[in-house]
């Protein structure tokens, strides 16, 4: 199983060329095994980016998110009480969404696909880039 960071969900849907070769291989392998996931807070982040004008879409945000998830069969993982607690113990930077996404990967024993330097440098989170 791999967990996709929000930026990777967006790259996969909009700009595949921005993915590293290693990330793309991992995504394709997880897709084939039906083990491609994201944290539910990533959906909120995409909506927030759109609302703030930092992400321009040709369609409404809800249909975009649904299509992005369906594109590769991405399963949305919920934030549990255990993940919420873990997100505060991993010693990551202050971004709450990043902390929840990383905690989701750690909790599920999954690797996190991300291009975020802060997450890539976090020893507590196994990453792919």
pLDDT in tens, 78-113: 999 999 999 999 988 889 999 999 999 999 999 999
Reading the block at residue 63, the tokens are 């249909």
pTM, full prediction? 0.94
**CA-based diameter of the chain, in Å?**
39
- Domain 2-128, CATH homologous superfamily name and number: 5'-nuclease (3.40.50.1010)
93 Cβ partners below 8 Å, 6+ apart?
99, 118
> If you count DSSP H runs as helices and E runs as strands, how many of each does the chain have, helices first?
7, 5
pLDDT digits (tens, 9 = 90+) for 32-65: 999 999 999 999 999 999 999 999 999 999 999 9
In whole angstroms, what separates CA 104 from the centre of its chain? 10
The Cα 15–Cα 83 span in angstroms is: 30
pLDDT in tens, 2-42: 999 999 999 999 999 999 999 999 999 999 999 999 999 99
């Amino acid at each position: 199983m791999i967990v996709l960071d929000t930026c990777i969900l967006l790259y996969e849907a909009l700009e595949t060329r921005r993915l590293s070769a290693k990330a793309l291989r991992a995504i394709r392998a997880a897709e084939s095994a039906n083990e491609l996931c994201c944290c539910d807070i990533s959906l909120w982040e995409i909506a927030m980016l759109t609302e703030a004008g930092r992400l321009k879409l040709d369609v409404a945000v809800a249909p975009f998110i649904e299509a992005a998830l369906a594109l590769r069969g991405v399963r949305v993982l919920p934030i549990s009480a255990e993940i919420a607690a873990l997100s505060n113990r991993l010693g990551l930077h202050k971004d709450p969404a990043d902390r929840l996404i990383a905690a989701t990967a750690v909790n599920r024993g999954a690797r996190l696909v991300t291009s975020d330097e802060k997450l890539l440098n976090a020893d507590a989170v196994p990453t792919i880039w």
